[in-house]
Amino acid sequence: MNRVALAKARRSLYGGLVIVVTAGLNPAEAQDSPQQEIHRASFSPASDEVFAVVTQFYEFDRALPLDVRTIERWEDRGRRFETVVFSTSTGERVPGDLVLPSGGQGPYPAVLMVHGLGSNRDRWWEPDRVSLPNSLLDNGIAVLSIDLRLHGARSVANDYQNPVYLTMGNELFVRSRDMTIQSAIDCRRALDVLGERTEIDASKLAVAGYSMGAMIGLYLSALEPELVAVVAAAVPTREQTLPSDPFNFAVRARMPVLLQIGRTDWLSSPEDARRLRDLVPDERGHLRFYDAGHRLPPEFAGHAAEWLAERLTSQPAG
């Protein structure tokens, strides 16, 4: 079964519910939005002592086996596709799709693509975002996408309800917070999966995330210092609770970070985006604005791929 067929099959199982929800309620897709506000002008980073406590939320036992299994393999235009599953820190199985470039045997650089709230790993292959994986693959860079906690093929743990409901009000705050933190741990495990593959160059790994996935990308910028680069597209900059505030992680980033923000995004603001960029140490923060809301125009994906390829294939200073 090829990638398109797999995507159609998944949408036939649970996509209808997602479509209904996102059309009416999902703030991650909304374009009619509240007025922007500046939230972070007075932000002050947590102390190193406090941040050391925060990072404990994201730790896991690395001795736990990944137990990676390949479910299916196929080729398309010389590209090699694999559907894989691995064990995360809780023992839950995490599904993902790994694609290796055509030509050569590697080892290839690789990018972990992290979807947003209420979405799934197939989102990266839809028309407005497919230029990110396609451009990376054309540049000899492998890509891996996974379903985050309670999303996609893992939505059974949320009784197949779209997890966007967890963010509405405070009744399910702990479940929402834990979903985000566990998703970040799942992504750390996914990076370990990449690091174990002989076809992948473990010294050339990067992350690209959208919305909630962008927040996770910023968490990883501090938690995974060996990453080469991080792209955070449509990252919410509104104030978060201490354990999940991306600002506290960005200030400890060890690599170049690209922020891609819509000027009218109701979950952000130009002022807050600039503040976030300036927090990245050693002037390695990069910021690109788009005339859009939270849903960025398709060209953002090509811009992100170009920026990542420059760093993964040549690794300039910043």
DSSP string, 106-168: -PEEEEEEE--TT--GGGGGSTTTTHHHHHHHHTT-EEEEEPPTTSGGGGGGGTT--GGGGGS
Q: Determine whether domain 3-25+46-313 maps to CATH 3.40.50.1820.
A: yes
Query: How many C-beta atoms lie closer than 10 Å to residue 206's C-beta?
Result: 26
Mean pLDDT by 10 residues, the chain (318 residues): 41 29 37 69 94 97 96 96 97 98 92 96 97 97 97 87 73 80 97 97 98 97 98 94 94 98 95 97 97 97 98 70
pLDDT given at position 39: 84
Please report the DSSP string for 231-278 in residue order: EEET---S---GGG-HHHHHTT--S-EEEEEETT-TT--HHHHHHHHH
Contacts from 192-196 at CB under 8 Å and sequence distance 24+? 192/62, 192/66, 193/66, 193/68, 193/84, 193/86, 193/96, 193/144, 194/110, 194/112, 194/142, 194/144, 196/66, 196/68
pTM score of the predicted model: 0.88
Task: Report yes or no: 204 and 232 within 8 Å, Cβ to Cβ.
Answer: no
